[in-house]
A and B are shown apart, each in its own frame.
Chain A
């Protein structure tokens, strides 16, 4: 197989509040022999909020990020569900609206860039599944996670709206019964846990504006995983991770029940199965202690 190579859009949290996500992404890519060219010029995607204030500005900034991936001639890989949604949504809107694309390109021309629509955009989870292949992951597992019940937490912005998301997937993912993360857990030798909240919202995006709503959603998610007998949770989204890892105190108060589980980034789970060390994967950067390794 030809070596896989992507343009990596890290997003902001990987540089700030989830350093372990950056570390584990690079560690896993190295193990899998995937080359990641970091888009150091990329800006914040606006995280689904900038567009509420200024939709056009959000489009221009996201189109600029994609243009840099296009200049490398590479598929853009994201490691944050919200980066994925915002970027893929921008691509969809520009690719389906020539007038809008021209308006955005008129702005990008001011800085010598052009959005062409030539790069695909996919989340690292789907790059692993679609391009690398779960069978190959299975073969490479050195430390099967067979003693663990693992609760997948998909994160809204990787699975909804499915019509948009499935534009970049090889096999379609249902928003109501997603399977990608479950399949990855199984490929890593773990036992995937089924529970109602696995495809639900963690509340992250309303944390400041609607703290009670956000805390209850977080509490429900962790409680659902605990009641399904999970040893830990795993998510492809650093924003879900922040919410589930750092906010369980508020969540416990909000739902009137003590809830807490270790939460791993998808990359950390794969890394553990492939024999990466806890230090390489940044497991010491979690607020809820990862006490099983």
Chain B
């Protein structure tokens, strides 16, 4: 058996009680931690040995219930799965323990996840299917069809991605990565009949997939490797495939890349903005464009560079395109 190794770590723990505190504060504890311990062990030790009033959620201790998600130095984690030594390797020996969202705190590390569950419920995260009450055989899903879920069903609703999403932190209407992953999970299920209904929900302006900033944080933070951004991309694709993409700035922005590449091989930046925004909408960009032009940052249409062997690119676009707008 390995010798138990230990090291001293300082924990700055976020404290706030909405019933008694005006402002949050941090308590500091310096503890010897061993290489076997996870963050939840430390929370337990602080609560049991130092301050019984520290509040946090815990349940399964096996990374499957999703309730113990918190942030350590800004990184969303499951307290029961994250080894202290791994965190110390990245962040050093002072760790800041905070709730997933400091603005939704009820007490200490416990947050009100109502917004998370509301968004989740909004995408109909369940199978919608006519049930044959007395089926003649089982309704089997082939392994091939099951693979289409891309493991989106591994989500444990811990909220780590939801409360790390920068788009959601600003735009509260945004449905967010966890609910999008759930929308994909059921829409990709061969037994489901509500795909189109869900696609209309995720296609909505402000709330829908179009407001994703593509920071990839949801893929980074997910403790179950659900990779929500991959599902968000799939939902974009499904919206186009279902032919329900609205003709708006967001959809034209995606389609505009194909047009531009077909014409020049490269992206025509100015034309992409004009095509996306329309001839009137583009006017709001004129002040910045003039400043850029003065600094040699705008290529005029007749000087637009082209990729060599453009004929190859045109040919590939013709033969490889899988969708129309």
Chain B proximity mask over A33-69: 1 for CB below 8 Å, otherwise 0: 0000000111110111111111111001100100000
B325 contact set on A, CB distance < 8 A: 53
Number of interface residues of A (CB under 8 A): 64
Q: Is A74 an interface residue (CB 8 A)?
A: no
Q: Is B111 an interface residue (CB 8 A)?
A: no
In the bound complex, do residue A44 and residue B260 qualify as a contact, i.e. CB atoms below 8 Å apart? yes
Question: Which residue, A43, A113, A200, has most C-beta atoms of chain B within 10 A?
Answer: A43
CB distance from B167 to the nearest CB of A (A): 5
How far is it, in angstroms, between the C-alpha of A40 and the C-alpha of B266 when the chains are bound?
A: 10
How far is it, in angstroms, between the C-alpha of A52 and the C-alpha of B255 when the chains are bound?
A: 9
Interface of B is mostly: helix
B53-61, B175-183, B316-324: which lies at the interface: B316-324
Chain A proximity mask over B74-93: 1 for CB below 8 Å, otherwise 0: 11000000000000001100
**CB closest chain-A residue, reference B288:** A246
- Whether A201 contacts B254 in the complex (CB less than 8 A), given A12-B269, A287-B291, comes out as no
**Residue from the list A43, A160, A217 in contact with B313, Cβ < 8 A:** A43
In the bound complex, do residue A49 and residue B307 qualify as a contact, i.e. CB atoms below 8 Å apart? no
How far is it, in angstroms, between the C-alpha of A176 and the C-alpha of B82 when the chains are bound?
A: 15
In the bound complex, do residue A52 and residue B170 qualify as a contact, i.e. CB atoms below 8 Å apart? no
A108 contact set on B, CB distance < 8 A: 316
Chain B proximity mask over A258-293: 1 for CB below 8 Å, otherwise 0: 000000000000000000000000001111000000
Chain A proximity mask over B298-325: 1 for CB below 8 Å, otherwise 0: 1100000101110011011101111101
- Whether A15 contacts B167 in the complex (CB less than 8 A), given A176-B73, A177-B90, A287-B297, comes out as no
Q: Is B258 an interface residue (CB 8 A)?
A: yes
B91 contact set on A, CB distance < 8 A: 176-177
How far is it, in angstroms, between the C-alpha of A177 and the C-alpha of B94 when the chains are bound?
A: 13
Q: Is A100 an interface residue (CB 8 A)?
A: no
B residues sitting closer than 8 Å to A (CB atoms) are: 73-75, 90-91, 166-167, 170-171, 206, 209-217, 219-220, 227, 233, 236-237, 240, 249-250, 253-255, 257-258, 260-261, 265-267, 269, 273, 276-277, 287-288, 291-292, 295-299, 305, 307-309, 312-313, 315-317, 319-323, 325
A-B contact pairs, 18 of them (CB 8 A): A13-B269, A16-B266, A16-B267, A18-B297, A53-B254, A53-B323, A54-B237, A61-B320, A107-B320, A156-B216, A161-B219, A176-B74, A177-B90, A196-B74, A208-B249, A208-B253, A209-B253, A246-B297
Beyond the given pairs A60-B320, A287-B291, 10 more chain A to chain B contacts, judged by CB atoms under 8 angstroms and listed by A's residue number, are A16-B299, A19-B296, A52-B236, A54-B323, A113-B312, A157-B214, A160-B220, A177-B91, A205-B214, A284-B295
